[in-house]
Structure 1
Amino acid sequence: MKRAVGAAAVGNITEWFDFGVYAYLATTIEENFFPPDNQTLAQIGVFAGFAVSFLVRPLGGLFFGPLGDRIGRTKVLSITVIMMAIGTFLLGFIPPYSAIGIWAPILLVLCRVIQGFSTGGEYAGAMTFIAEYSPDKRRGFFGSFLECGTFIGYALGATVATVIPLISSPEFASTWAWRIPFFIALPLGIVGVYLRVKLEETPAFQTLLDESESREGTEVKQAIKMMFVNYWPAMLTAGGIVVAWNITNYMLTSYMPTFLEKNVTDTGGKAIDTTTSEVLQIVILWVAVLVIPLLGNVSDKVGRKPLMMTGAIGLVVLAFPMIYVLTLGSVPLVAVGLAVMAILLILFSATSPSTLPALFPTEIRYGGLSISFNIFVSAFAGTTSLIMTALVPTTGWAYWPAVYLIFGGLVGLAVLVKLKDPAGKPLPGSNPAVSTPEEARELVRTGADARG
């Protein structure tokens, strides 16, 4: 179980290391890869480069998801993690706009396409992987470590992107120092592949394989048709949770550094120091790493639904106060605003990885989750930074982030009201899973009692 959690989480670390580096180096990427005479266009171009990876994620989900249901979880997850690492690694070699002109942003977009396509099969597959390995009564706890990987990866990327320019000479910082974080992704990807190829298939998928030695899995077209015809309610439920969860996620991790830099001034009328805002967010992310497993453990005892409902209601009620506190410009108040947003986020982060896989049966779990997850992430969440970057400067109204957070909270509430809490129950189509001999004996005993 520990090796399974580590193998799944390392892919998430690789994915979010890239996002952390990209978000925290957004200004540097803008200066290097886009024409210098139009700052607004360049800023939108940076976040368009971020958003394009989400436009291809559904294609990656359509390709890798059904493939994972046919040939196995471990094989597909080994492919996706190394693809993500290579895309990030290559981005660090792109020459600046001053050297190759329009080819700089074109190559940037191509690297982001590689990252997005592979990510389309990575995260949903990792959720499936951990959920199918976990015992029923500990699935919330073990699943939460996947999101620990998310926050560790982002915090590492943000930390490296912040520290390297500070310890480098001005000349090196402006030429090669900012590229170093992108190079680090490749060793992370190699470690991920090594860990994953060493693992056996999940027990749930192995049961399917044991049904027939010649099993080839459901044909891709048939599987996709089955998902949209028979499991569209599950896909909509997954989508609603994904929207609430990931709008908050990308608002905090991707847009807030830019929001604080461009729209918030301190009590003296000066812009918030970039290093100060970055350090505040990095500290909050590292604290979240410690808290998420605790909430995952709580969800195994009280259920997933109460925690997620609290997060969704919090988004609706606290969105405007959060942004108002941030705009006041006081460093302690900025820390409070970011901390409240992070708390609402981790209420979803600690519970969603164990909730979403329980919406689909084993034979289409990877595919159904990949397709629904990536469609809704791409349409509503991955574009958060791009939408906010377009709306806030052009309208001059700093509260658009609050409006979007409320939208996410309302969508989440709409699907959570009817959600049947999966805590402590076997995954659909899977046998009960236990973690101790005592649990096994209790399961046999209660089964015998039920039969009379």
Structure 2
Amino acid sequence: MVTDHRTTRRAVFAAALGNATEWYDFGVYSYLAVVIGAVFYPAASPAVQLIATFTTFAAAFLVRPLGGLFFGPLGDRVGRKRVLAITMITMALGTFAIGLIPSYGAIGITAPVLLLAARLVQGFSTGGEYGGATTFIAEYAPDRRRGFLASWLEFGTVSGYLAGALLVTVLTAVLDTADLHSWGWRVPFLLALPLGAVGLYLRLRLEETPVFTAAETFGHEGAHAGPAGERGTHRLRETVVGQWRPMLLCVGLVLVFNVNNYMTTSYMPTYLNAVLGYSPTHGLLMALAAMAAMLLTVALVGRLSDRVGRRPVLMSGSVCTVVLALPAFWLLQRDTSAGVLAGMLLLALTLVHFSGAAPAALPAFFPTRVRYGALAIAFNVSVALFGGTTPLVAEALVDATGSPYAPAAQLMLAGVIGIVAVSLMAESANRPLPGARATVSTRDTGGAGPDGRGR
């Protein structure tokens, strides 16, 4: 199968930009955790405010498996493009709604209840986002460049986080505490709606993936002909029961990926501020530096995974998670900007292994007919149990033990699980996706189109 290089490039750009928009929405909440705690839980102590805020943060992850169960199999039935458009606008509306919620001082207990409801909408939407976006890019990419092209999805993710962090940093720097708590914190959330409209426009212009189209053309989907409800039930059973082993491996790999991810991008600004006593602006700037370093390296790591394989890169990341966690947290506590920066860069170095290689490795666990559904379910179960709870668990561990090193132990345990998962997974670099024919690009065939003729 030959894919058009220009069409593939547009698909990667649109999926990554849409993903950036979605993760901007999701990340802004964590950057404003301290402010949100004060606005919605003013009667509690600062420590309890943070735990309450991160509990609401984690609640969104608990409904992500439901979103995966709904959107994933739907994407395997009706196509990747349509479902990704739905998740885009749903996420934007949920985030926009947070910016409109009155404070606890204005409407009492209704305020945190509405905040929770908006977060649940975000979580349900995101349940169909990452699995769909990785599937979309993987099914467009030629076999020999899948790691490089799929890594641009994480470039979009980090860009979204970075944009949110940058905006929050500017607001924190230019507004006094009263203005930030009264109206300033709402600005990033309200911007979600126009950003979501842009992402929706780009996704609606995309064509369906050639792998999914080929599967439909050659009748893979017709194997379970029957009433729509029966086909849906059969596919869900096939997804969950028939793919249980690769789903377990996917859960393990996603666990180590996302514990690293949410520790570095979501929890670290709060940790530097609330645990180590740095100013909110300082903590955000350090997080910005780490994410900027990831932007510069993630595509290089993706390209490396095409050359040496996904397993060596992911194994290196898992080992780094175990070996570098304590040194990173030791550096964070040196009470110098240089030490904090060095610690954040160590965390980013570990995370970029997964950001660069995982987007291509995860879709390769599953065949075309159930890829979106199986990946969405496994990914979101893992994120709900272990990834989204990372800031909450880290803060609770620090509060319970009094040790600023407690989050390092959390990372190390995740790294051990990652080592086991990578040891058991098969290599997928430079090979066709399961259930698909070998895929090359017109860039590699002298410009020949899908029919083999020159363009």
- TM-score computed with the length of structure 1 as normaliser: 0.93
- What are the ranges of 5 or more consecutive residues in structure 2 without an aligned counterpart? 1-7, 449-455
Report deviation, 1:319. 1.3
Asked if residue 253 in structure 1 is aligned to residue 253 in structure 2, the reply is no
Q: Name the counterpart of 1:235.
A: 247
Would you say the 8 A contact 2:26–2:122 is kept in 1? no
CA distance in 1, matches of 2:443, 2:191: 43
> Which deviations, in whole Å up to 9, do the C-alpha atoms of 1:349-384 show, x marking residues without a partner?
000000010110000000000000000111111101
Would you say the 8 A contact 2:397–2:407 is kept in 1? no
Q: Name the counterpart of 2:351.
A: 345
RMSD of aligned residue pairs (Cα, Å): 1.9
Report deviation, 1:48. 0.8
Aligned counterpart in structure 1 of residue 297 of structure 2, from 291, 298, 306: 291
Equivalent pairs counted in the alignment come to 436
Report deviation, 1:287. 2.3
Q: Name the counterpart of 1:202.
A: 209
Q: Name the counterpart of 1:190.
A: 197
**Residues 12-21 or 68-77, more deviating:** 12-21
Would you say the 8 A contact 1:434–1:440 is kept in 2? no
Report deviation, 1:164. 2.0
Aligned counterpart in structure 2 of residue 151 of structure 1, from 153, 158, 172: 158
Q: Name the counterpart of 1:174.
A: 181
Q: Name the counterpart of 2:418.
A: 412
Q: Identity of aligned pairs, percent?
A: 47
Aligned counterpart in structure 1 of residue 14 of structure 2, from 7, 19, 31: 7
Are residues 415 and 214 of structure 1, via their aligned partners in 2, closer, same or farther at CA, if it must alter by over 3 Å?
A: closer
Would you say the 8 A contact 1:10–1:188 is kept in 2? no
Q: What letter corresponds to residue 212 of structure 2 in structure 1?
A: F
Would you say the 8 A contact 1:89–1:186 is kept in 2? yes
Asked if residue 381 in structure 1 is aligned to residue 387 in structure 2, the reply is yes
CA distance in 2, matches of 1:112, 1:246: 19
> Which deviations, in whole Å up to 9, do the C-alpha atoms of 1:33-81 show, x marking residues without a partner?
1133433332211001110110000000000000000000000000001
CA distance in 1, matches of 2:190, 2:294: 26
Q: Name the counterpart of 2:129.
A: 122
Would you say the 8 A contact 1:75–1:197 is kept in 2? yes
Report deviation, 1:430. 0.6
Partner-residue secondary structure (3-state), 2:425: coil
Aligned counterpart in structure 2 of residue 401 of structure 1, from 384, 399, 407: 407
Would you say the 8 A contact 1:272–1:329 is kept in 2? no
CA distance in 1, matches of 2:140, 2:192: 27
Q: What letter corresponds to residue 18 of structure 1 in structure 2?
A: D
Aligned counterpart in structure 1 of residue 146 of structure 2, from 134, 139, 150: 139
Would you say the 8 A contact 2:331–2:343 is kept in 1? yes
Partner-residue secondary structure (3-state), 1:350: helix
Q: Name the counterpart of 2:274.
A: 262
Are residues 296 and 119 of structure 1, via their aligned partners in 2, closer, same or farther at CA, if it must alter by over 3 Å?
A: same
Asked if residue 92 in structure 1 is aligned to residue 104 in structure 2, the reply is no
Aligned counterpart in structure 2 of residue 425 of structure 1, from 423, 431, 441: 431
Partner-residue secondary structure (3-state), 1:124: helix
Report deviation, 1:436. 3.3
Partner-residue secondary structure (3-state), 1:176: helix
Aligned counterpart in structure 2 of residue 368 of structure 1, from 371, 374, 377: 374
**Residues 415-424 or 334-343, more deviating:** 415-424
Aligned counterpart in structure 2 of residue 226 of structure 1, from 215, 231, 238: 238
> Which deviations, in whole Å up to 9, do the C-alpha atoms of 1:204-263 show, x marking residues without a partner?
110122135995788232122212322111001111110110000001111111111122
CA distance in 2, matches of 1:359, 1:120: 18
CA distance in 1, matches of 2:177, 2:335: 28
Report deviation, 1:151. 0.5
CA distance in 2, matches of 1:63, 1:43: 31
Partner-residue secondary structure (3-state), 1:417: helix
Report deviation, 1:134. 0.3
> Which deviations, in whole Å up to 9, do the C-alpha atoms of 1:102-130 show, x marking residues without a partner?
01100000000000000000110000000
Asked if residue 20 in structure 1 is aligned to residue 27 in structure 2, the reply is yes
Would you say the 8 A contact 2:215–2:221 is kept in 1? no
- What are the ranges of 5 or more consecutive residues in structure 1 without an aligned counterpart? 265-270, 443-452
Q: Please identify runs of 4+ aligned residues in structure 1 that moved more than 4 A.
A: 212-218, 437-442
- TM-score computed with the length of structure 2 as normaliser: 0.92
CA distance in 1, matches of 2:173, 2:274: 21
Q: Name the counterpart of 1:244.
A: 256
**Residues 321-330 or 139-148, more deviating:** 321-330
